[in-house]
Amino acid sequence: MAKTVKTMQGKVLDMEKLQLANEMTPAVGNVKVNARGDELGPGGKIVKTREEIMKDFYNKRNKNVVKPDNKMVPDNDGE
The span from the CA of 35 to the CA of 22, in Å, is: 7
pLDDT of residue 52: 95
8 A C-beta contact, residue 39 and residue 46: yes
Coil, helix or strand for 39? strand
CA-angle at 24, arms to 20 and 30, nearest 5°: 120
pLDDT digits (tens, 9 = 90+) for 22-56: 999 998 889 999 989 999 999 989 999 999 999 99
8 A C-beta contact, residue 38 and residue 49: yes
pLDDT of residue 60: 86
Q: What is the pTM of this model?
A: 0.58
Instruction: Indicate whether 75 pLDDT > 90.
Output: no
